[in-house]
Amino acid sequence: MIVHLLTLVWNRWRSGMLVVVEIFFCFIVVYAVLAAGAYFAEQYAHPLGFSYENVWNISMEYRGEYPGAVEASERTQRLLQAVRSIDEAEEVASATVVPYGSSTYMRSFELKGHPVSVLSNWADAKFDDVMGIQPVRGRWFEEGDESQNWIPMIINEHLAQAIFGKEDPIGKLFPTMSEGERERRIIGVIRDFRSGGELSVPDNYYFEYAVSKDTNAMMPRDIVFRVRAGTQAGFSERLVERLHAEYPDTIYRIKALVDMRKSAMQTKLVPLLIAGIVAGFLLLMAGLGLVGVLWQNVSRRTREIGLRRAVGAGVRDIYKQILGELFVLMSFALLVGTLLVLQVPLLNLISNVPVSVYFTSLAGALGVMYLLALVCGLYPAILATRIQPTEALHYE
């Protein structure tokens, strides 16, 4: 049966070849869009590690020279106090990197001779309450942690796995990142803290305790606070005035994390949406083209099909022939396409993409293309079954 179909297709390779080319390009487009979608879906499935509802962020832009560590930490305390003084704020904390913000800090250390990069953040003792972070092992920072002669540190599971494998990391020393720094000790492990949001790549992450007796205390950059559920946005003007009264040399911007999340999502998803729409239209175009070609094919082969009907071929046999030929062409194009797209993971052309993404999108694209073949082949096949044996006999 299959050999017979192959022979039929091979004898008419010239008309089939262009269809193959078209299907091939179509497959590549569908695969690319599905792979991008699958990549985002894969990221989305990972736990975020924090909650963003009812959390607001104040980002602070200081315009001036660094006033020294004492002044910097005093500023942080006074600004935190100012936010606490408004009724709406339930929990208030400060951190250097907030979720959905634009800044990230990356450091690196050496592990078994290989450089490992890690996202870093500095947070205070209340940050876990505001962001709803639950340590899976150990504990979060506590006031008084600054009195240790080492820097308390909290790492995510990804990083714990990378450094310590299956061992319990609590109480262990963190690898040195640069010469002359104080040693860091791990006091807790969190599930994750994906500050880039749901669509960011899960990565190594650590928190250092922001309150320290070090001489290099940073200028306050971000304050986050949790409000009661259902609080309206009306308080931000009052809050800005309050903060401005405290330190007028800084620009304050207040935003709900929900809004920051929305715009962060949009910048990543809108291009994918546009690509998806364009790919959808290309698919429609290719599908219509396929219907046209098959239709014409059937009407040209009236004699052949009529003859088959005359010698006793049933409706099912005709369906089998028309659809079978299409599937042979389709499979040939998809085989070439699959071999081509498999080069991407094999040659590791794009880094940082999990292998599963390639295979789910490959399976998805193959499924879409075969479905397209079925839908496009159906109408011409029905036309073919309606051919009467008598029509065929007119010709000779």
Partner 1 sequence: MIRNYLLVAWKVLLRRKFFTFISLFGICFTLMVLMMAIALIDHTFAPHEPETRLDRMLGIYTVTLKSPSRNSITVSSPGYGFLNRYARTLPGIQDFSICTATSSFSMFVRGRELTLDLKQTDGAYWRILDFTFLEGRPFTVEEDNGGIPVAVISDAVRRQLFGKESALGRTITAEGKLCRIIGVVTSVPILRAAAYADVWVPVGAFREGPDTELTGRYRALILAKSASDFPRIKAEYQARLRQVEFPDPTEYNLIISATETFAEQIAGEIVPNLFGIEDAKYPVNILLWFGGLAAFLFMLLPAVNLVNINISRIMERSSEIGVRKSFGASSRALVGQFIVENLVLVSIGGALGLLMSWLMLRWIAALELIPHAEFQLNYRIFLYAFFITVFFGVFSGVYPAWRMSRLHPIAALKGGVRS
| Choices 79-87, 149-157, 220-228, 247-255; region in contact with partner 1 by CB under 8 A | 247-255
Q: Which residue's CB is nearer to partner 1, number 19 or number 362?
A: 19
d(CA 4, CA 20): 19
376 CA to centre of own chain = 33
| Choices 167-175, 209-217, 246-254, 341-349; region in contact with partner 1 by CB under 8 A | 246-254
| In contact, 357 and 348? CB cutoff 8 Å | no
Tokens of 98: 């907030």
Q: Does 67 bind partner 1 (CB under 8 A)?
A: no
Q: Does 25 bind partner 1 (CB under 8 A)?
A: yes
Q: Does 21 bind partner 1 (CB under 8 A)?
A: yes
Q: Does 300 bind partner 1 (CB under 8 A)?
A: yes
d(CA 272, CA 278): 10
Q: Which residue's CB is nearer to partner 1, number 146 or number 391?
A: 391
Q: Which of 136, 173, 285, 393 binds partner 1 (CB under 8 A)?
A: 285
| Choices 11-19, 110-118, 163-171, 326-334; region in contact with partner 1 by CB under 8 A | 11-19
Q: What Cα–Cα distance (Å) separates residue 163 from each residue in 173, 210, 231, 243, 261?
A: 11, 23, 42, 42, 31
Q: Does 296 bind partner 1 (CB under 8 A)?
A: yes
Amino acid at 62: Y
- Contacts of residue 327, defined as CB under 8 A and 6 or more positions apart, other chains included, come to 370, 373
* Helix H or strand E encompassing 306: helix 302-310
* Helix H or strand E encompassing 60: strand 55-62
Q: Does 105 bind partner 1 (CB under 8 A)?
A: no
Q: Which residue's CB is nearer to partner 1, number 97 or number 239?
A: 239
Q: How far is the CB of 44 from partner 1 (least distance, A)?
A: 24
The 8-class DSSP code of residue 173 comes to B
The residue behind tokens 């297709």 is: 9
Q: How far is the CB of 289 from partner 1 (least distance, A)?
A: 4
Q: Which residues bind partner 1 (CB under 8 A)?
A: 12, 14-15, 18-19, 21-22, 25-26, 29, 61, 63-64, 234, 236-237, 240, 248-249, 251, 253-254, 278, 281-282, 285-286, 288-289, 291-293, 295-297, 299-300, 303, 395
